[in-house]
């Protein structure tokens, strides 16, 4: 259930979000509406934050597991989050797995850092550095808060998702990502344009390419899809 990262499956013992990002409407919300109809779960159909404890012992078989990918885990009760982490610790796969925890409120992860096993990566989405653009399309914390929260987490494995990318101020936005790299915690950046045609204010292809080039020149690995004509190193 993850079209974003290759070799990935989504594991959803918790589902839903109240940030109301406009680009989630044609993707996660619509997807969960279909799933809710099939399994008879009104909360899934309405994208209301809720729990599916019956899934805790059913971790998918995949090299990468996107934890609670059809929602934002910051809306999850802390005790239930601990149950999710404990399920990961008890899981004994035949091959190594990596678990991605992503939130637009990464400060939520702070109290769980001592509990995360080494195969967990923490992620947040930064579509841009521009606060006005963010507040126009989402109730999530503004990008500067997300970035500073992620930077402030004492954790060695982090990823930034710049998808869907919106127009940005390159010196500021680049500095944000470079700061994470200099901290030694940033594993890579995922980059891409809006794939759902939500009418977001996007940068030009030239501006996006220059930004990607600058990331790479600063030793930052860039991965992605929905790149329009932006080129990544092969």
Rounded mean pLDDT of 146-162? Answer: 98
Which CATH number fits the domain that encloses residue 163?
A: 3.20.20.70
pLDDT surpasses 60 at 2: no
> How many Cα atoms sit within 13 Å of 128 on the Cβ side?
22
Domain with 82 in it: 8-224
> Does some domain include residue 232?
no
> Does some domain include residue 234?
no
Return d(Cα 109, Cα 4) in angstroms, integer.
22
> Does some domain include residue 61?
yes
> Does some domain include residue 2?
no
Return d(Cα 214, Cα 117) in angstroms, integer.
32
What would the pLDDT profile of 198-212 be if each residue is shown by its tens digit?
999 999 999 999 999
Rounded mean pLDDT of 17-30? Answer: 89
User: DSSP letters of 151-185?
Assistant: HHS--S-EEEEE-S-----HHHHHHHHHHHHHHT-
What would the pLDDT profile of 48-63 be if each residue is shown by its tens digit?
999 999 999 999 999 9
Residue 5 pLDDT level (bands cut at 50, 70, 90): low
- 227 to 98, 196, 208: CA distances (angstroms): 25, 13, 9
Residues 6 or more apart whose CB falls under 8 angstroms from that of 62 comprise: 7, 8, 9, 97
> Does some domain include residue 100?
yes
What's the start-to-end Cα distance of the chain, in Å? 26
Name the phi and psi angles at 202, rounded to 5.
Answer: -100, 155
> Does some domain include residue 217?
yes
> Does some domain include residue 134?
yes
> Does some domain include residue 71?
yes
Report the domain count for the chain. 1
């Amino acid at each position: 259930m993850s079209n974003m990262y290759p070799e990935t499956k989504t594991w959803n013992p918790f589902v839903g979000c109240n940030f109301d990002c406009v680009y989630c409407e044609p993707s996660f919300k619509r997807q969960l509406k279909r799933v809710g109809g099939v399994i008879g779960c009104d909360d899934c159909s309405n994208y209301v934050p809720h729990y599916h404890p019956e899934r805790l012992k059913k971790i998918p078989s995949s090299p990468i597991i996107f934890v609670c990918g059809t929602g934002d885990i910051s809306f999850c009760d802390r005790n239930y989050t601990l149950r999710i982490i404990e399920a990961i610790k008890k899981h004994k796969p035949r091959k190594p797995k990596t678990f991605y925890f992503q939130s637009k409120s990464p400060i939520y992860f702070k109290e769980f850092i001592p509990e995360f096993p080494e195969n967990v990566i923490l992620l947040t989405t930064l579509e841009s550095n521009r606060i006005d653009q963010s507040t126009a399309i989402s109730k999530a914390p503004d990008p500067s808060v997300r970035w500073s929260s992620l930077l402030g987490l004492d954790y060695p494995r982090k990823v930034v998702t710049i998808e869907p990318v919106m127009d940005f101020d390159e010196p500021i936005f680049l500095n944000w990502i470079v700061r994470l790299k200099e901290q030694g915690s940033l594993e890579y950046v995922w980059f891409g344009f809006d794939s759902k045609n939500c009418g977001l204010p996007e940068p030009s292809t030239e501006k996006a390419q220059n930004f990607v080039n600058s990331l790479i020149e600063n030793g930052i690995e860039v991965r992605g899809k929905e790149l329009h004509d932006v080129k990544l190193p092969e």
